[in-house]
Amino acid sequence: MIRLIAFDGDNTLWDFDAAMRTALQRTLEELWTVRPGPSTGALSVERMIEIRDRVAKELQGRVTDLAVVRHAAFERTLEEIGIDDPGLAARLNAMFFAVKERHSAPFQDAVPVLESLSGRYRTALLTNGNTDPARYGLDRYLDPIVHASDEGAAKPDPRLFRILLERSEALAAEAVYVGDSLSDDIAGAQATGIRGIWLNRSGRPNDTDIVPDAEVMSLTEVPEVADGWA
Ligand SMILES: [Mg+2]
């Protein structure tokens, strides 16, 4: 019997990518204002994303707070274009988070689906990110809310999924986890014995050997899938 449906946050309940790209674009414009020149000109949002992903990989297992990763990525970005200015990295980082907060929004299907699940299932959040769901009024649907940065472990680490189960007072067999990342969300959930629903909004191919228990293109399909297992 399914009792718990837990969700990933970034790119599952809210559109992180759009807000992240807007915020990086703004920091790039700011950098151009204070440090114009060919090396700044050679930077792009894509390259900043690539640098951030590289830094995240290097810090994997040591740093679970993605805000720390983001700051380190700005330091690395400046380093790679030959600017040694820790104060500037800190300022760009603060600007990034301010702009990201202003531009981030939940997906259209998030509230209706949480609304339709509530009362029938316990619904929860387990996120590696740093967005506060209260910002969108989603916190009233989500209990528990588990942030990786508070726990010293990040998805796909099964420890984090076990914390989720403990706080939800649910067994793995009673739980479903919904997320957009095959490697972090689906593999992590399944390693803990939790069913994983892969949210694949863009219909991209699965180029991994991870087999989700179900695949959906919208959150609106989640209640029917869970009801089928209930
Ligand atoms: Mg995600």
pLDDT tens, position by position, 16-37: 999 999 999 999 999 999 999 9
* pLDDT category of residue 230 using cuts at 50, 70 and 90: confident
- Distance of CA 133 from the midpoint of ligand 1 (Å): 14
- Distance of CA 12 from the midpoint of ligand 1 (Å): 5
- Distance of CA 38 from the midpoint of ligand 1 (Å): 34
- Distance of CA 24 from the midpoint of ligand 1 (Å): 18
- Distance of CA 9 from the midpoint of ligand 1 (Å): 6
Is the pLDDT reported for residue 63 higher than 90? Answer: no
- Distance of CA 14 from the midpoint of ligand 1 (Å): 9
- Distance of CA 211 from the midpoint of ligand 1 (Å): 17
Is the pLDDT reported for residue 113 higher than 90? Answer: yes
- Distance of CA 102 from the midpoint of ligand 1 (Å): 19
Dihedral-angle region of residue 105 (phi above 0 means left; psi in -120 to 50 means alpha; beta otherwise): beta
Question: 79 versus 65: which is more confidently predicted?
Answer: 79
Is the pLDDT reported for residue 105 higher than 80? Answer: yes
Is the pLDDT reported for residue 161 higher than 90? Answer: yes
pLDDT tens, position by position, 188-213: 999 999 999 999 999 999 999 999 99
- Distance of CA 168 from the midpoint of ligand 1 (Å): 20
For residue 88, the model assigns a pLDDT of 97
As a whole number of Å, the CA-based R_g of the chain is 19
- Distance of CA 43 from the midpoint of ligand 1 (Å): 26
- Distance of CA 173 from the midpoint of ligand 1 (Å): 22
Please say whether the beta carbons of 181 and 8 come within 8 A: yes
Is the pLDDT reported for residue 64 higher than 90? Answer: no
Strand partners, 125: 7, 145
| Mean pLDDT, all residues of the chain | 96
pLDDT tens, position by position, 66-87: 899 999 999 999 999 999 999 9
For residue 223, the model assigns a pLDDT of 97
- Distance of CA 147 from the midpoint of ligand 1 (Å): 13
Is the pLDDT reported for residue 126 higher than 80? Answer: yes
Range 136-165 average pLDDT:
95
- Distance of CA 37 from the midpoint of ligand 1 (Å): 35
- Distance of CA 182 from the midpoint of ligand 1 (Å): 9
Q: For helices 66-80 and 86-103, what crossing angle results, to 10°?
A: 130
- Distance of CA 94 from the midpoint of ligand 1 (Å): 22
- Measured CA to CA, the distance from residue 17 to residue 49 in angstroms comes to 10
Q: Cite the beta strand spans of 122-164 per DSSP E.
A: 122-127, 145-147
For residue 50, the model assigns a pLDDT of 98
Scanning the structure block, which residue is given the tokens 């949002």? 45
- Measured CA to CA, the distance from residue 14 to residue 16 in angstroms comes to 6
In the chain, what are the domains? Answer: 4-15+105-229 (3.40.50.1000), 16-103 (1.20.120.1600)
- State how far Cα 146 lies from the chain centre: 12
Best CA proximity match to 184, nearest among 222, 158, 220, 147: 158
Range 93-114 average pLDDT:
95
For residue 140, the model assigns a pLDDT of 96
pTM: 0.88
- Distance of CA 70 from the midpoint of ligand 1 (Å): 16
Question: 230 versus 121: which is more confidently predicted?
Answer: 121
* pLDDT category of residue 91 using cuts at 50, 70 and 90: very high
pLDDT tens, position by position, 35-57: 999 999 999 999 999 999 999 99
- Residues found in the chain: 230
